[in-house]
Chains A and B, each alone.
Chain A
């Protein structure tokens, strides 16, 4: 994270070099109460994170003896070794397979659908109803339909497989992805599509050679948003899998915690390990990650 600290301000300053900085608020006038409140919130955020990190480096006996906020006198990675030996590598790969296996198809088919909706929904009643269904779909909570999803998965004989998690994950990633992507495709100038058509390009070709590169940032955004929610997903793995070999990370965390609840440092090491990939992503592409998170929601 240290790297982002230095790059972040650097990337913004070039765009807004002079003093009237913000879009809405003016410059950072010195504001003591706000600064103070900001620090309090900082403490509220940082203290648990700090505690997770230092505790995960303590031995179990040291944990009970030492001040919880004192850094470990002899930091150890034993907890991490224990977590990794508890088959977390497998769970990591399961999570990676589920996330990649769901996000890539979900984004691609959402992109195709968004393209079709933008290009032809004024002519096609089918596309208008598809769009209406997706908009309504935004309001369907996964929890509410989990029982029939479970039934479908059983009937498809996919219970206790990773595919069982992947398929519903794809479906529930679609509505928001289509919404965000269609907003971006709508911004592509109409003339570009026209000129592609003049050149004899097919819709399929226009889709991949014109729309795809032009809205790549939106595709990244949507990929990140879906990736994060699927990586952190808990309900689908809980309901649709059973055996340890099919466990994904959030579920593994939960069972690990159930087994070793006394060994707090080991439990927290498992928390750190499962969050590490996302933290790495945050360090590399913080801006895109954050814009991905609020993709469909900012005004």
Chain B
């Protein structure tokens, strides 16, 4: 990262802008670059620095060596938060991937009926996480929600009041929100599979299932990896939803990493340990992205660069 700074003075070519000669365009990238450095790169370095300090969020910042790291790493809360994060990640991945894939394949076929379904399927994309969390909170309320209203005892559970149920609800709401997005990715990927492949297999007498497993699925390999990367790395950052839906509760049952960071930093005013958690968050995210990249041969960024 340090090697990035020196070339900046090339912005001095700004004077030749009127000239319009080649090589004089670098300054055009300067505003975006400066903005990004100021509010993303410097904070990224800053969070590492802050993890070695003591700060309550208001007063002065003091150097504190490895104190925050020591307290965070010794705290069983970290292991718990990692475990909750991992559970949410795995469960929501396992739930979303097959469903998104099937819905994507289903919607890829162009028919008027499916077009209409698609219009409705994608509506959940429009709601904010906060709005969704609020809706489900009301819907699942044991006293005022759906179960009580319908009088069905099975639905009348204290959905958000029991550890495993709350986690399950979270996974469901996450899936409800994001399956449309991943279906959309799969839909456009399926539409890019050469039609001739299906025609050839049809001549060979392949059935629908055979086609799915022998053509569609292998052809979607990179899409599965892109979508999985987005799901897995994205699940690290679930904050709005958990914060509004369960607040990390009941107890600490849904206190995932990002929420743990917020609570330590902005509620308990321990910015040092919270920064340490944030560093862990970045490292876990990078680790997972690299792992998935190795699994698939390329990663989300690369696959983004193709296509279009």
Chain A interfacial positions (CB closer than 8 Å to B): 1, 4-5, 8-9, 12, 16, 20-29, 31, 34, 37-38, 41-42, 44-46, 48-49, 51-52, 63-64, 66-69, 109-110, 112-113, 115-117, 119-120, 123-127, 129-130, 132-135, 137-152, 167-168, 170-172, 174-175, 178-180, 183-184, 187, 197, 200-207, 228, 231-235, 238-239, 249-251, 253-254, 257, 261-262, 264, 267-268, 270-271, 274-275, 278-279, 282, 286, 290, 293-294, 296-299
B66 CB within 8 Å of chain A = no
Q: Are A174 and B32 interface neighbours, CB within 8 A?
A: yes
Known contacts A133-B36, A148-B43; can you find 8 more A-B pairs with CB under 8 A? A4-B119, A22-B191, A23-B190, A119-B22, A120-B22, A149-B39, A167-B35, A298-B184
B74 CB within 8 Å of chain A = no
Question: Nearest chain B CB to A284's CB is how many angstroms away?
Answer: 13
Partner of A234, one of B102, B129, B305: B129
B87 CB within 8 Å of chain A = no
Q: Are A152 and B39 interface neighbours, CB within 8 A?
A: yes
Question: Nearest chain B CB to A228's CB is how many angstroms away?
Answer: 7
Q: Are A24 and B108 interface neighbours, CB within 8 A?
A: yes
Q: Are A134 and B36 interface neighbours, CB within 8 A?
A: yes
Please give, as numbers and ranges, the residues of chain B lying within 8 Å of A115 by CB-CB distance.
25, 28
Identify the closest chain A residue to B279 (Cβ). A144
Q: Are B32 and A268 interface neighbours, CB within 8 A?
A: no
Known: A197-B20, A202-B18. A51 touches B28 (CB 8 A): no
- Residues of B in contact (CB 8 Å), total 130
Please give, as numbers and ranges, the residues of chain A lying within 8 Å of B176 by CB-CB distance.
44-45, 48
Please give, as numbers and ranges, the residues of chain A lying within 8 Å of B29 by CB-CB distance.
112-113, 116-117, 126-127, 130
Chain B, 291-308, CB within 8 A of any chain A CB:
300-301, 303-308
Question: Nearest chain A CB to B101's CB is how many angstroms away?
Answer: 12
Known: A250-B128, A274-B131. A23 touches B193 (CB 8 A): yes
Question: Nearest chain B CB to A36's CB is how many angstroms away?
Answer: 11
Question: Nearest chain A CB to B301's CB is how many angstroms away?
Answer: 6
* B1-37 to A contact mask, C-beta < 8 Å, 1/0: 1011001101100000111101111111101110111
Please give, as numbers and ranges, the residues of chain B lying within 8 Å of A298 by CB-CB distance.
184-185, 188-189, 307
B92 CB within 8 Å of chain A = no
Q: Are B150 and A69 interface neighbours, CB within 8 A?
A: yes
A-B contact pairs, 8 of them (CB 8 A): A25-B193, A46-B120, A115-B25, A116-B27, A126-B7, A126-B10, A178-B32, A228-B126
Chain B, 137-167, CB within 8 A of any chain A CB:
137-139, 141, 144-146, 149-150
Identify the closest chain A residue to B306 (Cβ). A299
Known: A130-B33, A174-B35. A123 touches B23 (CB 8 A): yes
Please give, as numbers and ranges, the residues of chain B lying within 8 Å of A69 by CB-CB distance.
149-150
Q: Are B33 and A148 interface neighbours, CB within 8 A?
A: no
Identify the closest chain B residue to A128 (Cβ). B7
| Most chain A CB within a 10 A radius of its CB, from B23, B108, B110, B125 | B110
Question: Nearest chain B CB to A260's CB is how many angstroms away?
Answer: 11
Question: Nearest chain B CB to A257's CB is how many angstroms away?
Answer: 5
Q: Are A251 and B39 interface neighbours, CB within 8 A?
A: no
Question: Nearest chain B CB to A229's CB is how many angstroms away?
Answer: 9
Known: A5-B119, A271-B131, A279-B126. A151 touches B46 (CB 8 A): yes
B83 CB within 8 Å of chain A = no
Identify the closest chain A residue to B122 (Cβ). A290
Q: Are B281 and A143 interface neighbours, CB within 8 A?
A: yes
Question: Nearest chain B CB to A159's CB is how many angstroms away?
Answer: 10
Q: Are A251 and B193 interface neighbours, CB within 8 A?
A: no
* B37-69 to A contact mask, C-beta < 8 Å, 1/0: 111111110110010000001000000000000
Question: Nearest chain A CB to B148's CB is how many angstroms away?
Answer: 8
Q: Are B239 and A203 interface neighbours, CB within 8 A?
A: no
Please give, as numbers and ranges, the residues of chain B lying within 8 Å of A134 by CB-CB distance.
32, 36
Question: Nearest chain A CB to B285's CB is how many angstroms away?
Answer: 6
Docked CA distance A5–B120 (Å): 9
B88 CB within 8 Å of chain A = no
Please give, as numbers and ranges, the residues of chain A lying within 8 Å of B282 by CB-CB distance.
140-141, 144
Q: Are A23 and B195 interface neighbours, CB within 8 A?
A: yes
Identify the closest chain A residue to B172 (Cβ). A44
Q: Are B237 and A231 interface neighbours, CB within 8 A?
A: no
Q: Are A175 and B109 interface neighbours, CB within 8 A?
A: no
Please give, as numbers and ranges, the residues of chain B lying within 8 Å of A180 by CB-CB distance.
308
